[in-house]
Chain A
Amino acid sequence: MSDYKIPGDEKLQAAKQKFSELSQIDELLSSSEKLSSVSPSALFAYANGAENETVEKALGENLALRRIYRDMLEKNAVYYVPEAMAASSAKKSDDILSREGKGCRIRMEPSRAEPNQVYVIVELSGNEKVTPTTLVVCDVEANCSRFPLPKIRDGVAQIIADRDADLVRLLSDPKTEAFIR
């Protein structure tokens, strides 16, 4: 006699969604010899924060895989901040960009103390229950870089970075998009 508990509608729907995503990825990956070295579950785990050098290397070499990865990021992001050019409120001054997404704004503020440093300020106004921990910024070729977010205080995560740091360089490029999860 088994003790299996049938999941509720909500969990069932979520399971179906994941299955669908994984099947889709599996189909895409199996269509290419090069992509098959990365399993769908490994890519999915990586998109959710897991470390994996093999996946990282494969992503660096293959545009198609990066696009799949980027789609996974978008589906799993708590907040999405599109390219700055597409956001009406985007503004640029002194090479410091401010951009907005739904329930979220990312802006950079120069440091008065250290002119070669800037504050990256992630402001979250949405009512999402999940507390984001990572900021992922992707360029037009879906080259994505992950940056850990510090503890969010009063809806704000604040980072200090050098002006030539990858994070600042990517966010200063209006063509990049950001995912917060």
Chain B
Amino acid sequence: MRFSVGDEVSVRNDWPEKRGPAHIRTPHYVRGRKGRVVKELGAFPNPEDLAFARPADPRQLYHVTFPMRGLWPDPASNDEVLVELYEHWLEAP
């Protein structure tokens, strides 16, 4: 599904690298975590296929912020991490 700026999203808690060779651009530390879309970055060929020379469909890329306090056990601040994530890794929370 498409997301818009301001949408709350969850990152899929999926670990394709455990099922076999994979090229994943979704960092471990955001999987299963909640964030918010701050920008639509356009569509790019899916790197998970591109890396294996397979036909790579364009996927929407989003800039998603995550509050540090949702990522780490000792969250004192209001700091955040901004990550580029492809649409197929995001779902409505």
Q: Do A and B come from one complex?
A: no
B interface residues with partner A (beta carbon < 8 Å): none
* Interface residues in chain A, defined as those with a beta carbon under 8 Å from any beta carbon in chain B: none
